């Protein structure tokens, strides 16, 4: 049965990267508990447009948990109060009638706010372009089973490849560390024969780019793993440490 709730929203508003931000309070009423969090944001924006006010800027694209575009730090947790989901998959039934919801952007020196709730996540792209790929010559499609890969390795590489680059790990980490993201990107290649050739260069380049961009270091609190919508395991971080240390010590 459909139920509706009324909510008070405390939303971070910031006009531009260099502007000073502030929290604004809004009321929304008759929100269906079947609607998604982003639909609720749409309703609020509609309301703001009708009042001739500037709508709230927030990131979104696929709205089905696969693109990694949506963000939002909701009531103290990235992607809000649910497990293994992105904000676009968050249902309003997770909230109570009359509740106050605080909505903030990801907070990290490496993810500066562009506007309101939108942060600049190109830092992740820079880390990927530093080494998150395998170099192959163009040509015909290689034989599918020419290179045998053990099943456990294939499974673990696939698990790591589930990362959608949303940045919730950075948002969740008290150090704004990007280690879970980088470890997923290093693991998905380090586990496969195709990725082993450039393994050393990759680990070094991606970590040094990560450091340069101002992400913090890992202190193994494990918050990233819990908040990650794709449940990327922190065991990948241990593999990244291993790959990096091997690369440095063999210099």
Indicate the residue among 14 and 233 with the shorter CB distance to ligand SF4.
Answer: 233
Indicate the residue among 101 and 228 with the shorter CB distance to ligand SF4.
Answer: 228
105 φψ region: left (φ > 0), alpha (ψ -120 to 50), beta (else)? beta
Position among 56, 70, 172, 180 found at the interface with ligand FES (CB under 6 A): 70
Q: Quick one: CA torsion of 41, 47, 52, 54, rounded to 10 degrees?
A: -10
Q: Sign of torsion, CA 55 20 81 77?
A: positive
Interface residues toward other proteins, by CB under 8 A: 10, 12, 23, 73, 75-77, 81, 102, 104, 107-110, 172, 174-177, 179, 207-208, 210-211, 214-223, 226-227, 233-235, 237-246, 248, 251
> To which H or E segment does residue 118 belong?
strand 118-119
Under the binding rule (CB under 6 A), the answer on residue 57 touching ligand FES is: no
Position among 200, 202, 230, 239 found at the interface with ligand SF4 (CB under 6 A): 230
Shortest gap between Cβ of 80 and ligand FES (angstroms)?
Answer: 12
Helices 179-190 and 199-212, packing angle to 10 deg: 170
Shortest gap between Cβ of 251 and ligand HEM (angstroms)?
Answer: 22
Rule CB under 6 A: which of 165-224 touch ligand SF4?
165-169, 180-181, 184
Under the binding rule (CB under 6 A), the answer on residue 68 touching ligand FES is: yes
Count of positions (residues) in the chain? 251
Helices 122-131 and 179-190, packing angle to 10 deg: 30
Shortest gap between Cβ of 72 and ligand FES (angstroms)?
Answer: 10
Under the binding rule (CB under 6 A), the answer on residue 234 touching ligand SF4 is: no
Coil, strand or helix: which one is 131? helix
**Would you say 2 and 32 are in contact if contact means Cβ atoms under 8 Å apart?**
yes
Position among 7, 11, 40, 69 found at the interface with ligand FES (CB under 6 A): 69
Report the greatest alpha carbon distance in the chain. Answer: 64
Under the binding rule (CB under 6 A), the answer on residue 78 touching ligand FES is: no
**Would you say 243 and 199 are in contact if contact means Cβ atoms under 8 Å apart?**
yes
Q: Which does 62 bind (CB under 5 to 8 A by kind): ligand FES, ligand HEM, other proteins, none?
A: ligand FES
Q: Which does 63 bind (CB under 5 to 8 A by kind): ligand FES, ligand SF4, ligand HEM, none?
A: ligand FES
Indicate the residue among 124 and 244 with the shorter CB distance to ligand HEM.
Answer: 244
Q: Which residues contact 38 (CB under 8 A, 6 or more apart)?
A: 58, 60, 63, 70, 87, 88
**Would you say 71 and 168 are in contact if contact means Cβ atoms under 8 Å apart?**
yes
Under the binding rule (CB under 6 A), the answer on residue 219 touching ligand HEM is: yes
**Binding site residues, ligand FES, CB under 6 A:** 60-63, 65-70, 86-88
């Amino acid at each position: 049965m459909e139920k509706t709730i009324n909510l008070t929203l405390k939303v971070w508003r910031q006009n531009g990267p260099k502007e000073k931000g502030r929290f604004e309070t809004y009321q929304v009423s008759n929100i269906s508990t079947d609607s998604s969090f982003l639909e609720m944001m749409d309703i609020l924006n509609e309301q703001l447009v009708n009042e001739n006010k500037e709508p709230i800027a927030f990131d979104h694209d696929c709205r089905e948990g696969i693109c990694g575009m949506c963000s939002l730090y909701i009531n103290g947790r990235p992607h809000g109060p649910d497990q293994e989901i992105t904000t676009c998959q968050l249902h309003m039934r997770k909230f109570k009638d009359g509740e106050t919801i605080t909505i903030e952007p990801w907070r990290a020196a490496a993810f500066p706010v562009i506007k309101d709730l939108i942060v600049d996540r190109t830092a992740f792209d820079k880390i990927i372009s530093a080494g998150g790929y395998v170099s192959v010559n163009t040509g015909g499609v290689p034989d599918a089973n020419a290179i045998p890969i053990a099943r456990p390795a294939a499974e673990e590489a696939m698990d790591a490849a589930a990362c959608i680059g949303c940045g919730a790990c950075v948002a969740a980490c008290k150090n704004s560390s990007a280690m879970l993201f980088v470890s997923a990107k290093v693991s998905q290649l380090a586990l496969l024969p195709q990725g082993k050739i450039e393994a050393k260069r990759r680990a070094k380049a991606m970590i040094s780019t990560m450091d340069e961009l101002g992400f913090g270091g890992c202190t193994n609190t494990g918050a990233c793993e819990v908040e990650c919508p794709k449940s990327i395991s922190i065991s990948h971080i241990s593999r990244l440490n291993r790959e990096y240390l091997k690369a440095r010590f063999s210099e």
